[in-house]
Amino acid sequence: MTAVIEEYGVRNRVGLILGLILFFGILLLPTPDGLTPMGKKMGAVAVLMATWWITEATHIAVTALLPIPLLPLLGIMPSSKVAPNYANHIIFLFIGGFILALAMEKWNLHRRIALETIAKVGTRPARLMLGFMIATAFLSMWISNTATTMMMLPIAMAVVNQLAEMAEVEGKRGPDTPVRVQRTFGVMLLLGIAYSASVGGLGTIIGSPTTVAFLGFAQTRFPDQSPIGFLDWSLVCIPLVVVFVPIMWAYLCRFGSNIPLSRIRFMGSQDVIQGELRKMGPMTDPEKVVLAASSLTAFLWIFRRPIELGGFTLPGWSIIFEAPSDIHDATVAMVMGILLCLLPLNLSGGIEWKGRREHFVMDWQTIQKGIPWSIVLLLGGGFALAAGIQESELAHWIGSKMSLLEGMPIWLLVPLVCVIATSLTETTSNIATVLMISPIIAETALQIGVHPYLLLIPASIVCSFAFMLPVATPPNAIVFGSGWLTIPQMFRVGIVMDVIGVMLAPALVYLLGSLVFPFGT
């Protein structure tokens, strides 16, 4: 697949100039009633960052660095308060989780998991697509949705290309059958992979950067609230994944294309998958070590804090330490990530403590190249932006203007917030959207007497439900780069997925979240 180099176009140039005009324009305008001068200055910074993020006037990481010079220069916050936001412990949770993901990729464990899952599903087109979607969603819980999509795309394209030569459509085969199969089954399979990667990442707190961004904001803004742990999040969001992925699969199979997948038949597709597994051979020692480390990490995340089981409390392992509250999921992630860098391997037979540097389970060269450092800076910039909005009382002022929502039924209020969030994220970085809207949503909730988590959690979730455009998410862009898809195809299917997501996420969060999160307190 040929890499596409994006040119700096009209939209980017207009965004660059427009952002600066809005920034200086807001600074020169009179301060609105009820808003502090610092709040007006913070509004100018927020509008500048939002405009540059939306139009990609410069790299998202460059925009994310703006709070470091601007907030002190404008007298909003001193550098000593701005800079720590770029070292939030949530960021290290992201880094530690990514090290585990890179270890999976380094030793091809992720590919083995994907192929094994697909092999057990079956050979019919619909079942084969379900296998790809399940494998993608599961892997996306543990590694980035971008990496998952990149890994699944060549496998999917290879399977489609090979099976197209053995395909029948409605029991017939003609000279155009391979092309028709690629335009129907191939397109739906790629869309299924992209959408499953986005949805599956929500199942765990490390699966999606949008979740990391929300958690970082929530713990900073509401320090008195109990931190949302790995198990808390998964208890609500894994059911969402389990429900949404089959819905997407059913829609794609029946309505996604002009030819329902039930009319396409493949002969010998199971042989293709089994052939790929045979090429991989038996599980290697590095794969076993990474699998064990990943399983142990998940175990430590789940059982870090005490778990209430009716009238019985299962104590968390953190109580063996002097200060259990000082230990976070980031602690576990970094311990396991560092441990992988300290385990040398004798590739012919297990662990060896005198191995060469390149035989370590994980190495800094791989980490340095593999971690998306721009996302790390984006998270830090978002946390700094949110802190500035809070410190300047801009969020309080905006929230006070939203009092018209007071008295609106919850069943209408939550979906409305989700519609706003998912509309923004179609053209803006998902993470940037979460970090921009979270302070406003939180203050609005406080102003109208609703628990902030009841609005914040669904909004952060639907920021991953951007299915209509290639620019909406990295998975969308990756599958669009295959050359098999058109924008109208993606838009037509994606808008339906957006609508379903906006209805499904608030409902499940309210029903299940009421049992896990403190909505009623």
- Measured in whole angstroms, the distance separating CA 273 from the mean position of its chain's CA atoms is 28
pLDDT for position 349: 47
pLDDT for position 200: 92
pLDDT in tens, 89-101: 878 877 888 888 7
Query: What is the 3 state secondary structure string of 429-480?
Result: CHHHHHHHHHHHHHHHHHHHCCCHHHHHHHHHHHCCCCCCCCCCCHHHHHHH
Of 233-237, 317-321, 423-427, 503-507, the poorest mean pLDDT is in 423-427
Q: What is the DSSP string of 104-142?
A: HHHTTHHHHHHHHHHHTT-SSHHHHHHHHHHHHHHHHTT
pLDDT greater than 90 at residue 40:
yes
pLDDT for position 5: 42
pLDDT for position 71: 95
pLDDT in tens, 445-479: 887 788 888 888 998 898 888 888 776 777 887 78
pLDDT in tens, 300-357: 877 887 765 556 777 888 888 888 878 887 888 899 999 999 888 764 445 555 545 4
* Confidence at 207, pLDDT banded by 50, 70, 90: confident
Rounded to an integer, what distance in angstroms lies between the CA atom of residue 64 and that of residue 75? 18
147 contacts 105 by C-beta, under 8 angstroms: yes
Kindly state the helix (H) or strand (E) to which residue 16 belongs, with its residue range. Answer: helix 10-28
Rounded to an integer, what distance in angstroms lies between the CA atom of residue 12 and that of residue 17? 9
pLDDT in tens, 154-194: 777 777 776 666 655 655 566 656 666 677 788 889 999 99
pLDDT in tens, 226-272: 778 778 888 889 999 999 999 999 998 888 776 667 666 666 556 77
User: Can you give the pTM of this predicted structure?
Assistant: 0.68
pLDDT greater than 70 at residue 521:
no
Contacts by residues 269-277 (CB-CB < 8 Å, ≥ 24 positions apart): 269/123, 269/128, 269/159, 269/163, 269/166, 270/119, 270/122, 270/123, 272/158, 272/159, 272/162, 272/163, 273/115, 273/118, 273/119, 273/159, 274/119, 276/115, 276/155, 277/112, 277/115, 277/116, 277/119
What is the radius of gyration, based on Cα positions, of the chain?
24
Rounded to an integer, what distance in angstroms lies between the CA atom of residue 460 and that of residue 58? 24
Rounded to an integer, what distance in angstroms lies between the CA atom of residue 327 and that of residue 325? 5
Looking at residue 170, the DSSP 8-state letter turns out to be T
User: What count of other Cβ atoms lies within 10 Å of the Cβ of residue 175?
Assistant: 6
Q: How many residues does the chain have?
A: 521
512 contacts 235 by C-beta, under 8 angstroms: yes
Residues with Cβ < 8 Å from 295, sequence gap 6 or more?
A: none
pLDDT for position 80: 93
**More confident site: 242 or 115:** 242
pLDDT greater than 50 at residue 2:
no
Residue 308, helix vs strand vs coil: strand
- Measured in whole angstroms, the distance separating CA 274 from the mean position of its chain's CA atoms is 31
470 contacts 431 by C-beta, under 8 angstroms: no
